Chain A
Amino acid sequence: MDKIETEQNMASTELPHVQLGKAPLPESPILLGWLRQMLLIREFEVRTMQAYQNRLIGGFCHVYIGQEAVAVGSIAAVNPDDPIVLAYRCHGHALARGMDPKYCMAEMFGRIGGCAKGKGGSMHMFDAPHHLYGGHGIVGAQTPLGAGLAFATKYEDEVLHDGKSQHVTLCYLGDGAINQGAFYEAMNLAGLFNLPVIFILENNRYSMGTAIERGTTMASELHTKSAAHGINHAIVDGKDVVSMYQSFKSIADWCREESRPFFVEAQTYRYKGHSMSDPRKYRTREEEAREEGSDCIDRLEKFLCDEHDLTTDGIKQLTRQVKTQVREAVDWAKNSPETPMDELYKDVYVDHWGPFTGTSKPEMLQGEDE
C-alpha cells in the first residue's frame, strides 16, 4: 500500500480530499528500538498479570498484550513534546512514551514510587516530563481532554507565542468509547476549532465483552464516524508497527501543518481479557489463535530479520534484556515503600487550607527540570 486511503468528509466541503503518502522508515537502530519497546510492553504486561494474581496489584487492571504496535508506532511518529492522553488501558503507551517501567509498576502496586505516588493506579498513568496527560478511567472522558490539550498547544503557539500552531496531540480511545457522547462532542469541537488532535481508535473488536457489531452501528466502517464532523479519517493496520508508523507520521505531519484534527482507526486485537476477571467466553479460542498468528511482535521480528540483519540471537538478547528490566522494575516496585499517610491529604488542592497540605512531587519528577 503506497497511499493511505483517507476518505473525504461527507458533511462539509471545507476540506479537500487528503491523499497522504507513506512516510519513509527510519534507520535500523530505531526500528530495533521499536522491537525492544514492544517486547518490553509485552513482558511488562505478563508480569503485571502475574503480580495482579499475586495480589500485588489491586482494583481493575487492563493489559495491552497484542496491541503493542499501535502505541509504539504512533508515538514514534510524533515529537516528544506532543501531548498524549489515554484511556484506561494505558501501561503500554506510558512505556512507549518513555516512562521507566519501575514507576509504572510501582503505581500499580500502590507505592510511593509510582508515577502518581500510588494515587492513580493501573488506569491512570501520568507523566508530566513525557507530556503524558494520563490514562482516564471513564470511557470516552479523555476525548474532550484531548481536544483541550490540542486547544492549549494551539493557543500557546498562536496566542502566547504569536506564532504558528506546531504541536499535535494524540488522543487514544477504544472501540467502546465510540458510543460515548463525549467523543462526538470532542470531535465536533476539534473540527469546529481546527484543533490539531488525532483521535486514535484502537479497534480491538470488543468493548469489554461486547463485540463491536453488537454495540455500534457501521461496525465495519468505524473510521467513517468522524465524517459528520468534517474530520478526515483513515484505517491503519494496528498490528503492523511499520505500517502504523508510516501512516501516522504522514497524518501527524499533516495535522501539525494544517492545524486540523484527524480520526484514525487502528485495527488490532487484544489477546487477553478486558480486565483480569474476564473469562473471554464471548469469543472463540480459534479466533484468538488466528489473531495471535499475525502477532505484531512476530511480524516486526520477521521484518527486521529479513531486511535489517536481525538474528535469532539478537532477538534472544533483546528478550533477556527486557525480562531483566521488568524483573528489576517489579523488584523495585516491591521495595518501594507504601505511600505514607501524609500523602492522603496532599494533592487535593495546590494550596494549603484546612486539612489539605498542598502538593508533593513523585519520585519520578524529583530532580526534573520542569
Chain B
Amino acid sequence: MSLNLDSKIPSGPIEDKWTKHKFDMKLVNPANRRKFTAIVVGTGLAGSSAASSLGEMGYNVKAFFVHESPRRAHSVAAQGGINGAKNYKNDGDSTYRLFYDTVKGGDFRAREANVYRLAEVSGNIIDQAVASGVPLAREYGGLLSNRSFGGAQVSRTFYARGQTGQQLLIGAYQGMMRQAEKGQVKLFPRREMLDVVIVNNRARGIIVRNLITGELEKHEADVVIMATGGYANVFFLSTNAMACAVTAGWKAHKQGALFANPCYTQIHPTCIPVHGEMQSKLTLMSESLRNDGRIWVSKIQGDTRKANDIPESDRDYYLERIYPSFGNLAPRDVSSRQAKYRVDEGRGVGGKEAVYLDFKESISRLGQSAISERYGNLFEMYEKITGENPYQVPMRIYPAPHYTMGGLWVDYNLMSTIPGLFVAGEANFSDHGANRLGASALMQGLADGYFVLPYTIGNFLASVGNTEKVSTDHPAFAEAKNRVDAELSQLLKIKGSRSVDSFHKQLGRIMWDNCGMARNEQGLKKALEQIPQLKQEFWNDVYVPGDNKSLNPELEKAVRVADFFELGELMCRDALERNESCGGHFREEYQTADGEALRDDQAFCNVAAWEYKGASVAPQKHTEELVFEKVKLATRSYK
C-alpha cells in the first residue's frame, strides 16, 4: 500500500498562498466554539501558545504536561534569540529574505510554502510577545534591539539577554494561565501521554499516565494537538532536558502517523565536554562565543601538555586553516564535524572529546573588560561547571546533540497522517529541512501555536462538525488503555539486573558513534545490528524498581528508553537509505573533494516519511517530493 502524502499546499504565488488559504478555510462560528474540545499535549512555546490562542477564541482546551508547572517545558532553556523579519534595522531584511535564508540554511530539504508562511508571520510573533510583556532587549531610545545571529547578513534576531526562550515561554505561559483562570484551559499537570485513541479513522483522545498516582486516564476531544518537542535524548547525552522524549510522538507513529526525516539531527558545536561516566546532560555555550574565540587543537597526537604550555607553532587553528573566509564562524554542522575529525585523529584535548576555544588573542587585543562585557555571564557559567577560569586557560568545548529537525509528518495545515491529530513545534518535521538556522526554533514554535493552528484547527472542526461525539466509554479507549497497561506491567515485571540509565547510555553511545556528526554505511549497518540486540537485552534484563501506584521516575524513564530504541533504529535506517549528505545528515561516502556535503537532488530532493508496520516488520518508506519554485537549488559554500 502506498500512502498519498498530500501536502495540501495551496495553489497560487507563494506570497499569496497563506492569505488565500486563510480565506478558503472554513470557520467555526464564535458561538459554536464552546461545543468543541481540543487536547494540547506539551506546554512549551508551541503548546502554550496554541492552548492560549484556542482558549481565547472560545474553544475548550485541555492541556497536558509532564511537569508540575507548564512553565518548565524545555523551550525555557533556549538562549540566543528569535528571528523576525521586521527590517527595523533598515538593512535589507524582508519576509522574502528570511524565507530564502531558511530554505537555503535547511539545505533545500524543507517545504517552500511552509517556510514562506513562517517568515510571513514572524513579525506578528514579535508584536505578540511585546504586547504580552516579554522584556525583549531595547536600545537607549526605547525601541527594540536586534542582533545578527548564526552568520545571517542582516540583524533580525530579537533577544532577551541569553534567556530568550525563558522569556518567550513565560509570556506564552502567562497567556495560557489567564485562560486557565477563565476556565477555557483546563490544566493536567504531571501527566504523560502514552497513547493516542483513534475512532473511525480520526484522533479522538489520548491515554495519559498520572505520574503521581500511576493511574491511566482516558481523555476525549474533538481534536488532538501534540507539541511534544524533539528527540535528541536518543543520544542520552544532549543539551535537552532530562524528560525530553519521543514517547508521545512514537506512540502516535505506531498508531499510523508517519515519521518524517528522523535522521536530520542538529549537533551544536559549542557545548561543555563530557567530564566522566556520571555525566547526565550537556550544557550549551552560546555560539556567539565564536565571534571572539579561536578554535584549535595541538598538532601533535596525544599531546598531554597543558594548553598554556603548547607553543603557537604546535597549535592548529583548523577552522581558520580550512575555511579562510568564514574561519571560526563556519556553520554549525561544518564546525561540529571538523571538531570530530580532530578528535578522531587523536588530537583532542588530553586525548578526549574536546577542542580548545581560546580568547587569549581577543583579550590582548580588546582587553579583558571588553570580553567580560560581551560574555561575562557565559564565562561565569563555564567556570561554575568546569572549575576553570576561561580568562586564563582556553575553554574546552565539543559538539553535542541539540535539536532534531525530523518529526511527525504534517501537511500544510500541520495535520499528521491521522486525521484530527495535529503536530506543532519541534515535534513536527515541517520547516527546517535538514538543518535549522539559529534563532528559528522559537519562531517556529510560536508561529505554529499563535498563528497557524488557530486557523487550521477551526477549518478541521468546521469540516467534521460536532454531531459525532465520542465518549471515553468507546471500546477504542479501553483498547488503547490496555495497550499502555500491558507495556507498563511488562516493564515492571522483568526485574532484571540492569538500570534503565545503563541501557540508555549504551544506546546513546551506539547512536553517537554511528548516527552522529558523520555517518557511513558500515557504521549504520553495525548500529542496525546492535540496537535490536540491546533492545532485546533491555526487555529481558532491565530493572525497574517500585510499582505503578505512585511517583516512579524509573518507570517513566523506562517507557521513554523503550521508545528510543525503536526510534534509534528508524534513524539509522533513514540515514542509511538517504544516500547523500545534506545539512545535519553527513554521509562520509557523499562529500566533495574538499570534504563538504554533497547533496543528490536527482534522487533525494524529497521528504522520507516512514510508516510503522509492526514490531517485527520493517517500516515502509513513503516520499513527498519537494518542489523548489522560488529558491534555486544551489550548493552551500563557506570557503
Q: Do A and B come from one complex?
A: no
